[in-house]
Structure 1
Amino acid sequence: MSLRLAVLAFASIFVLQPVAAETYSSEQNDFRLVELADDLERPWGMAFLPDGGMLITEQAGQLRLYRDGRLSDPIPGIPEAEERGQGGLLDVAVDPDYAETGWIYLSLSGQGEGGLGTQVWRGRLEDGRWTDSEILFDMKDKTRAGRHFGSRFAFDSESRLYFSIGDRGAMDRAQDPADEAGRIHRIERDGTVPSDNPYLGDAGTPPTAYTRGNRNAQGMARHPDTGVIWIHEHGPRGGDEVNVIRAGANYGWPEVTHGIDYSGAVISERESGPGVEDPVHVWVPSIAPSGMAFYSGAAFPEWQGDLFVGALRSRLLVRLELDGEQVIGEERLLEDEVGRIRDVRVGPDGFVYLLTDSNDGRLLRLEPAS
């Protein structure tokens, strides 16, 4: 069976009809909010297949397929994720050449010597099962901590795979030259290291590392016009950041920050410094951002080029208006309407899709009001 037919055949099991939609007003586009599914177990990431299907990860370790109003049973055979704290099965991405390769990428917290660490896997769907599974990246210095796995994915214009790893709850790891934590990493789609990665040749430095000084990035997206990768990352108590990713850049954590420790203690007196890349936007107090997407569809023409960010703590959807790499406006949507928003994506249909973070998490869609 071909990959395409296998995916189509698998989307077969439970029918979930959208419920009645509610209409909301925004500064530029009124929209309807449509519920597509409502029984996902702490959904974390989603990715669109070229045949119209959508893959959804659940933090507890399941991968589901949603298509034409149908939500599958968990797909068997996927790599085992250890759910602990913020860990589990996390992001999912579809290969830019999926029609030819069939590759699907997963990030997760995996077991190994010393405890847990962020892992990147790839595999294919064949006859409703995960097959051809192989690990592309396995974090070396694992710990028992259940925090800051990072794990968002993005592909650049050359189809190289970027992924984030947080500081694993030990802030000094983000500035340790030999550590893999607190960074954005870049690999080829087969797991090899690109020949122009910025730290290649630096003795003791992880060759996959692309940046350092990142606390915990849970949003990542490629700008549709410039092709540049953007991220957002959780601050401590205050100081969530939106950053533009540059090869070899240091984003400062914990030597510079706009936030304080959860105890109220000062982490750093500095909000900026020499040799540190400044954020393009900061939230104080924290919104706890998760998931992000640039809008480039046709359904909402007034949102073209805007950046959408989900929020966990603040339970809302943020729309940022941009002028180049500057944020010139912010609108807060759906505040306290749908709960904790874990992921945000723009579909091929131009609609905006959301995942809510709860034991009965929902898949929601923003459509034009008329």
Structure 2
Amino acid sequence: MTRAFPRRALALAAGLMGLASGASASGLSPEVLTRDLQNPWGLAFIGEGRMLVTERPGRMRVVEADGRLGPPLKGLPEIDAVGQGGLLDVITDRDFARNRTLHFCYSEPGLGGNSTAMASARLSDDRSRLDDLRVVFSQKPKVASRLHFGCRIAQAADGSLFLALGDRYNRMQDAQTLDNHQGKLVRVLPDGQPHPGNPFVNRAGARPEIYTLGHRNIQGATLAADGTLWTIEHGPQGGDELNRPEAGKNYGWPVITYGENYGGGRIGAGITSREGLEQPVQYWVPSIAPSGLVFLGSDRYGPGWKGSLFTGSLKFRQLVRLQMEGGRVVKEERLLGELNQRVRDVREGPDGLLYLLTDDRDGQLIRLRPR
């Protein structure tokens, strides 16, 4: 699909960047629940006010309702915590109240280097360890790289799991071929088998787990109320993208991009569109370095915010609200700039409030209360 340059994206990039320095937390009251997390990455809610938090160096901890931080859980697999890698996203299974199952992803060491893997395990009744660990997916091939692991998980209504995978930086061209998992969004059943409805299941030479291709480094994935999957990914220097991935479609990286090489210079042919390659719903120039993605389903912050998409900005140290109408971004708002924190993840809790993780060696878990 080829489109003209989306004017709203250019206007947002040029006009709304001024909010970076003047952002206001009007309507929000940040409450720090704990400050003692080392580069936290993923957050999940496990009932009775408790949460699970992953720390990139390779720890998963329970945070009690009062903010007390438990010891690292036992039973994790071997994790290659190098560069951008480590223990990354975590979600609870849709049937967690019955099966106590978690799904998490991490950088897995192995022959040739490392790759992103996803495992499932049962949280013990005393919340001290992971039992019945199963690695349900492992990105192929493994490569020698410290970058672009992707690693966001979303679970569909049928229980299948979407896992977002990065291009591993020095393998960007692999994002355009089907014989590998680099730069792909994959979909598997809970036992790790490819989803039978995947678009390339019966194509010779294609990895059957692939759902979409042409991604750079997806850093957020979430489902809308209607079950539609949305993702957000890092561009290079400019060209971060918000996408609504559809089975079998190609999202263009590195053939088309609104970004450029670090330090300047075009990537590939230096084009922003080509027939057969999908345009993003929204893009950012310059980059905001988005991380985490969630639709707000509650009206705790007033009706104007319900249905908005939220993502963190690592680069500008803010929370970004995207007001949506008919599948389009109609307004962008920058929030919490005064915190001066790299927002790594944002989730909606069972109480309808937003929770943030900040990416630091002394990272924070923050609950946002309406004023």
- TM-score, normalising length from structure 1? 0.90
Deviations 1:102-138 (A, max 9, x none): 2111100011110100000111122421110110011
1:334 and 1:352 mapped to 2: Cα distance?
Answer: 13
Determine if the alignment matches structure 1 residue 144 to structure 2 residue 155: no
Structure 1 counterpart of 2:59: 62
Within 5 Å, which residues of 2 pair with 1:176-195? Answer: 176-195=177-196
Structure 2 counterpart of 1:19: none
* Residue type of the alignment partner of 2:215: N
2:208 and 2:156 mapped to 1: Cα distance?
Answer: 18
SS in 2 for 1:205: coil
Structure 2 counterpart of 1:197: 198
Determine if the alignment matches structure 1 residue 250 to structure 2 residue 247: no
Shift in Å, 1:269: 2.3
Deviations 1:267-323 (A, max 9, x none): 032111211111011110001111011001131132110000101111111000011
Q: Is the 8 A contact 2:107 2:116 kept in 1?
A: yes
Structure 1 counterpart of 2:50: 53
Shift in Å, 1:100: 2.1
Structure 2 counterpart of 1:222: 223
1:141 and 1:214 mapped to 2: Cα distance?
Answer: 16
* Residue type of the alignment partner of 1:299: R
Structure 2 counterpart of 1:318: 320
1:35 and 1:344 mapped to 2: Cα distance?
Answer: 14
Deviations 1:58-77 (A, max 9, x none): 00000001121221011111
SS in 2 for 1:199: coil
* Residue type of the alignment partner of 2:239: G
SS in 2 for 1:174: helix
The structure, 1 or 2, with the larger RCO (C-alpha pairs under 8 Å, 6+ apart) is 2
Deviations 1:302-346 (A, max 9, x none): 211000010111111100001121100000011252411100001
Deviations 1:335-369 (A, max 9, x none): 25241110000111011100000100000011011
Q: Is the 8 A contact 1:222 1:229 kept in 2?
A: yes
Structure 2 counterpart of 1:309: 311
Shift in Å, 1:57: 0.2
Structure 2 counterpart of 1:43: 40
Within 5 Å, which residues of 2 pair with 1:126-137? Answer: 126=124, 127=126, 128-137=128-137
Q: Is the 8 A contact 2:172 2:182 kept in 1?
A: no
Q: Structure 1: any 5+ residue segments left out of the alignment?
A: 1-23
User: Which of 97, 102, 105 is the equivalent residue of 1:104?
Assistant: 102
Within 5 Å, which residues of 2 pair with 1:237-316? Answer: 237-267=237-267, 268-301=269-302, 302-316=304-318
Q: Is the 8 A contact 1:166 1:216 kept in 2?
A: yes
Structure 1 counterpart of 2:5: none
SS in 2 for 1:249: coil
Q: Structure 2: any 5+ residue segments left out of the alignment?
A: 1-22
Q: Which moved more, 1:335-344 or 1:211-220?
A: 335-344
Q: Is the 8 A contact 1:220 1:291 kept in 2?
A: yes
- TM-score, normalising length from structure 2? 0.90
How many residue pairs match? The answer is 343
* Residue type of the alignment partner of 2:120: R
Q: Which moved more, 1:330-339 or 1:165-174?
A: 330-339
2:228 and 2:98 mapped to 1: Cα distance?
Answer: 25
* Residue type of the alignment partner of 2:276: G
Structure 1 counterpart of 2:84: 86
* Residue type of the alignment partner of 2:142: K
SS in 2 for 1:99: helix
Q: Is the 8 A contact 1:297 1:348 kept in 2?
A: no
Structure 2 counterpart of 1:77: 75
Percent pairwise identity: 44
Q: Is the 8 A contact 2:24 2:337 kept in 1?
A: no
Structure 2 counterpart of 1:120: 118
